Amino acid sequence: METSLKVIEEALPYLLQGLYMTVLISIVSIIISLVIGLVACFMRMSKYAILRYPAAIYVNLIRGTPILIQILFIYFGAPSVLDIHL
């Protein structure tokens, strides 16, 4: 029992660092998705067709593809387009 507590005690800083990073990534992704969603919403509600149609295509494309396909597309497509290495 004593060795189990020692392992937890040694791992606690790493676990807290992982928790911090998880919360940070979640907050940043929520803010980014909120901005993108609001822009798409306002474009979709616009009376101008030049704004409404691209927003409709974007919304239908995102809603029409499974999330796993989107994740794979970002994972394999982003490095080649943005020249980043994962």
The pLDDT tens digits for 5-28 are 888 888 999 999 999 999 999 999
Q: For the chain, how many structural domains are there in total? A: 1
Instruction: Give the residue carrying structure tokens 């616009």.
Output: 46
pLDDT in tens, 25-62: 999 999 999 999 999 999 999 999 999 999 999 999 99
pLDDT at residue number 7? 87
- Structural domain harbouring 41: 2-82
Count the residues in the chain: 86
DSSP structural state of residue 17:
H
Query: pTM for the full model?
Result: 0.70
Rg of the chain (C-alpha set): 20
CA-based nearest residue to 44, from 32, 62, 27, 66: 62
pLDDT at residue number 1? 61
